[in-house]
Amino acid sequence: MRSVLRQLIVSLHLLVLASCRKPCGAEFELVSKEYQHGRSTICVIATGGTIQARGEDKKQKFNYKNSPAYGKTLFDQWASITNYNILVYQPWNIGSHEIKMHHTITLAKIVLRCITNGADGILITHGTDTMVETASIIQWLIGLRMKGIPIVFTGASNPSSAECSDGPENLDDALAVLANRGAKNRGVMILMNRLIFLAEHAVKHDAGRIGGLGGLEYGTVLDRRVSFHYPPSVSGAHSIPLEKVTNLTQRVVLVMGCQDMDIRALEAIVNTKPEAVVAAGVGDGWFPEDATAVLEDAAAQGILVIIAARSGKMARATLKEWQIPCYDLDYPKCLALTKLALWANYNWEDIQALLDGRGEEVIYKQDGRYSEGMSTLNAFEMSL
């Protein structure tokens, strides 16, 4: 009886702490003049990128620079913010080509804290070069703990100073998605140039024009009217619990296959003794015979060899026993997921299952329960 009472007291204490927290977190600043109860609360995390960059004049679309402007200024011009309580926090202001995995893991912790503190939606502004990788990692680390709350990434192809900047419309459309009732229970989404993508299914294919993101078209936004093409669902196929990613010292390297490949560079990489090699082969993941021999020797030395396709997803079934296939992810995502798996101390079997889309199975095997059944008020989240 005492243990039950003690557990009840602890649970009530945690609930009180959670209810006393400010929406999003103490470091977030309110954009509007005052917080209005009854309005949706949107936490905006600004990380830099073209959407915050500025050129020398309105005509300049390339060779612009990061603006020192704080993320809050993104919303200075748009009347649509009167419909929401918008709180903004900028943990860093860098181009997405400068983002490292420790940034993304920190971002995942910030997002999880926003969810725990009662945000109705989360908007992340980000450079488009590696937006797809960051959004996918957030999906993998906290996708099963989103509690139905929509998370949307957006950015811009032209700087904020350009007369044809697409940033303002993307921000407005992203807010429309977050406010839409149909946006719940859909996982991490990307909104760019009126199109909605799921993070794992998106790819950047063109750096020189507006609309350079592609992939499976998940929905559209036209004049703030949101249409989803598929029913709600949240995939845990590649999920890894955020709190397990603790050992960031293990190295994973990427090698690319090509015609007339010089294997001396590959041999030099293998000789550095990384924990894993993600080998993005040509076509359906193929390498020349001499390069394959080097990779096989690496596997014999205990180095994990992940086979991916340089062109995108891989379909072939003829693999050697020392090769771990990465079928349904392109090689940048495969590289990121392999790093997370090693940093979570996954073994060979677990990594193979994770890359095969059986992430929840690994979680169940390790913890004895699926992560979506985990309390959002556990010790890890309370420490964020």
- List active site positions: 50, 128
Q: Is 161 annotated as a binding residue?
A: no
Q: 85: which residues sit within 8 A by CB, 6+ positions away? A: 23, 30, 32, 35, 36, 39, 40, 41, 42
Which residues fall within 8 angstroms of residue 278, CB to CB, at 6 or more apart?
252, 253, 254, 255, 306, 308, 326, 331, 334, 335, 338
* Phi, psi torsion values for 2, nearest 5 degrees: -65, -40
Name the nearest CA neighbour of 186 among 224, 226, 158: 226
96 labeled binding residue: yes
In degrees rounded to 5, what are phi and psi of residue 15? -65, -40
244/343 Cα distance (integer angstroms):
8
Residue 128 labeled ligand binder: yes
Residues 223 and 90: beta-carbon distance below 8 Å: no
The length of the chain is 384
For residue 242, give the nearest of 129, 120, 148, 374 by alpha carbon: 374
Residue tagged 């009854």 (tokens): 38
Distances (CA, A) of 161 to 53, 74, 75, 191, 377: 7, 12, 14, 21, 43
Annotated binding site: 96, 128-129
Detail the residues annotated as belonging to a binding site for substrate: 96, 128-129
